[in-house]
Chains A and B, each alone.
Chain A
């Protein structure tokens, strides 16, 4: 019988056929723990298996300190040190507080390629669907078990096939497409499903655009959103690994639980209003209502790539951040920081009045870069705007271009066409 991508991927890992609904012990290629949750993983591991217990494969395990980097509370600092100590004794690589967001590091380092499996203590690990890999966020107990055995139990989800057609307006980007899709399905709309994305507008996305779309599968409650990599993504990935890089495709007679055709026409800039990533309207309409803002943020695992900063930069080239407004920038990884530095963006951003922070999750994870106060309004490129997630203020979610155009005007503004 025909298989969907996830069924094929799992079958290949198991060496025997698996279908939606099967509960299997799934071997993992990469198992990670971040600073959030990592110390609990270590504690669980040591309590269950003993102080001298070995891990399944030190090369397949990583610690990634991205949540609170560098640690700004003694508690986080202690937790990071617990992880470092555990890692050193076992020869495990630590991507320390200077490295960046774990899920992005796996992609940059060629660890996440089509067909691999990875878990981590990060609910946005399904971002790895951007390269055709199966990433899952899991709890401390699951990750501790996987440190020891290299596997987790996994229920193979049923797949929804989504075909999106449309064209990005010259002032729109992958985030606008993503918000339009989140709006369509709603917060719980893909609960427990795997999704395969196809269609002209999806297939033309570059890797950063695919990362944006895949990252927000979490906000639709999907298990994973897989965007089968095309030639340019495969080329990029091929330059990062010695392993063969090959896209897994679904069989023509694969069985889907649902097939959805979405014709979005011309996709204009979109924005999610507080307090749900699915409360989406065109920026044009929200802008007409006159929404004054206090601050903007570009970064996160959703929009923290070089291309995202470049997109925001274009809106600021001939004008800076408005008086009384701030703009915070957090590159996803050290590699991204290096790119915005060598391309000269940092100088321009500085002149425009932006604050440039070190790489990581700062600005998204609470407590690091920029909380909001009661009544404060923020426009962010991140992926969640729940009440209280980043302080008492109100957060809107939008593209890097919309954030930059808005901080320049001091209110929510439709970005100019720069392409």
Chain B
């Protein structure tokens, strides 16, 4: 079977000094006032709508982007919309220094690639082309030609679910 290599262009979420933002929680990603929305197309416009400086994320991000962030991405509630809103915008997935456990589970179940890369800080500029090798658990920055390791490694279950297109499509 071919290696699963997912390529996209980096959209880093950073503070004024350019450092990756930590602790972006599920209310910043998809605010609870929009929880009644179940249509994917409608969800898209609210992605990161409550994160200062990124209220217009939905208009700025291009399909095929990686959402890139710092530590503890997706902390907070178990809302699935916080994953689905990025998929709705055509984002390829999330690369963060670390991802909150429930968010990671939801992302995996929705077949959205998500990887935790401890050495991510300072390694990515906006627009860099990043390739995630799901099976090897490596992230290659094609501009700088550096290879970073996912830790903990991407599990075989995550790969299996990704290949099926989501938990509910597994047989």
Contacts and interface: CB of A to CB of B under 8 A. Distances in A.
Given A141-B109, A153-B157, A48 B169 contact: yes
B80 interface: yes
A21 B167 CA distance: 20
Nearest to B109: A141
B155 A155 contact: yes
A192 B101 contact: yes
A111 to B, nearest CB: 24
B105 A142 contact: yes
Nearest to A44: B168
A48 B156 CA distance: 23
A23 B157 contact: yes
Interface in A147-170: 149, 153, 155
Nearest to B36: A75
Interface string B32-66: 00000000000000000000000000000000000
A145 interface: yes
Interface string B82-121: 0000000000000000000110011011100000000000
A139 interface: yes
Contacts of A25: 157
A149 B108 CA distance: 18
Contacts of B101: 191-192
B148 interface: no
Given A44-B168, A153-B161, A192-B101, A141 B106 contact: yes
Contacts of B109: 139, 141-142, 145
Contacts of A49: 168
A9 interface: no
B139 to A, nearest CB: 20
Contacts of A191: 101
A140 interface: yes
A220 interface: no
B170 interface: yes
Interface size class of B (residues with CB under 8 A): 10 to 19
Interface in A1-55: 21, 23-25, 44, 47-49
Nearest to B161: A153
Interface string B121-136: 0000000000000000
B78 interface: yes
Contacts of B168: 44, 47-49, 141, 144-145
Nearest to B152: A21
Contacts of A153: 108, 157, 161, 167
Given A23-B157, A155-B155, A139 B169 contact: no
B80 A140 contact: yes
A25 B160 CA distance: 11
A139 B166 CA distance: 14
A386 to B, nearest CB: 11
Contacts of A123: 78
Given A44-B168, A192-B101, A23 B156 contact: yes
A141 B169 CA distance: 11
Interface string A121-147: 001000000000000001111101100
Contacts of B102: 139
7 contacts: A123-B78, A139-B102, A141-B109, A141-B110, A145-B168, A145-B170, A153-B157
Given A139-B109, A142-B167, A145-B170, 14 more contacts: A23-B156, A23-B158, A24-B157, A25-B157, A44-B168, A47-B168, A139-B102, A141-B167, A145-B109, A149-B170, A153-B108, A153-B157, A153-B161, A192-B101
5 shortest interchain CB distances as A-B pairs: A48-B168, A23-B155, A141-B109, A23-B157, A153-B157
